[in-house]
Amino acid sequence: MANLTNIRPAQVFPPGYFIKDQLEQRQWNQNELAEVLGITPRHLSQVMNGEAPLNYDLAIQLGQVFDTSPQLWSNLYLSYAMWSEEAEEEASATEVKAGIYERMPIRDMVKKGWLKEPKSLKDLEQQVAKFWGKDDANLSFIDTEYSPCLNRSTASKSNQYNTSYALTWYRKASLCAEKREVPAYNKKKLESLYDNLYSYTAKTASIKVYLEKLNECGVKFLVLPHLEKTYLDGAAFKQGNNPVVVYTARYKRIDSFWFTLAHEIAHVLLHLDKQRAIILDDLHEGEATEMEKEANELAGEKLRHAEIAARFHDSGQVHPKRIEACAQVYGVHPSIVAGKLAHDGLAGYRVVQRYSEDVLVHIPVKYLN
């Protein structure tokens, strides 16, 4: 059986609703009643709308005018006042919750295990404050502390893209990166490793080797799934003096992994030393900025894209034997060749799919989040 004490009416009307009924029965207007009560029409209007208190003296007068008990009018006012206060609190709570959901994809974060299912608004606010390392859940700081540092790789693809969601993802990435220990950053060592990146792509077993060497250069690497409405492939930023490179596995193909990695390392070498920035990349849509064009060009160079394209300049038939022969000549994985040809419109989806396998199978678990 339902607990009737917990049942709350959907709406309670102010005293004026009942006063109007009494006035209609007597064919009076509000001005006449105000005159009888000895108050101004404005004051009466405020009482009737619940904007001014209906005190006991006025309740006595209304009881005398309408031949009712004063308690009737006092109870009507108190019921409305209590309901109105609760409704105001609920509206305020809804507004707070809506503000949080506008800034953070709470459902997706719960689904990914980044947050626990909130038991109440207070619980949600506590979890949000803890996530950001703040004293409360006021998220206005995102506009001043985070947004000015953001470098978005492409123009927003639509109103679906949510900058705050992307920065929420970045916050999670930075928290994950804090747990990783690497030596001091060595730029020359990274440049040397980067120059030979293509040779590590030939065999999937070399993915693990390359990531270990990347860590030895003082670069933190991690895999973190993107959040809804962020469309992220990867990111590059600094944590202290150590660069951080993040792969979202948005597209889990081997060629996508290597290009994203090459692209983010390009940002580390070309851009992170010049500015303290958060670089979030969507590598598949929009018009690239100059900074992104530079990273794309360098990544393509390290993956031998120009040589691959030149080998297929005759526009002859693209088939597996040609792709595999090209891959062998340039010492890269066949998926690198297929991916480049697909990007240039020389190969279709079936060709890419032939060399498509889940790259996460080859990335050690310690990098996954």
Domains in the chain with CATH codes: 12-100 (1.10.260.40), 106-139 (no CATH), 142-367 (no CATH)
Length of the chain: 369
Which pLDDT does position 81 carry in this prediction?
A: 77
Which residues are CB-contacts of 69 (< 8 A; sequence separation ≥ 6)?
63
**Residue 15's Cα: distance from chain center in Å?**
46
Give the pLDDT confidence score for residue 77 in this predicted structure: 80
Per-residue model confidence as pLDDT tens digits over 157-176: 545 678 899 999 999 999 99
pLDDT at 117 (0 to 100): 96
- The alpha-carbon radius of gyration of the chain (Å, integer) is 33
Q: Which residues of the chain have pLDDT under 50?
A: 1-7, 155-156, 158
Q: Which two tokens stand for residue 300?
A: 């393509």
List Cα–Cα distances, 203 to 198, 245, 248, 358, in angstroms: 10, 21, 21, 14
pLDDT confidence of residue 239: 93
| Partners of residue 152 on adjacent β-strands | 280
Distance, CA of 48 to CA of 53 (rounded, Å): 9
**CA nearest 284: which of 230, 237, 328?**
230
Q: According to the model, what pLDDT value does residue 316 have?
A: 67
CB–CB of 333/254 below 8 Å? Answer: yes
Q: For helices 163-178 and 121-132, give the axis angle rounded to 10 degrees.
A: 60
- Closest by Cα among 284, 334, 283 to 311: 334
Q: Evaluate if pTM is beyond 0.85.
A: no
Amino acid 259: pLDDT: 96
Residue with tokens 């990544």: 299
Residue that has been written with the tokens 């609920």 in this structure: 90
CB 305 within 8 A of CB 340: yes
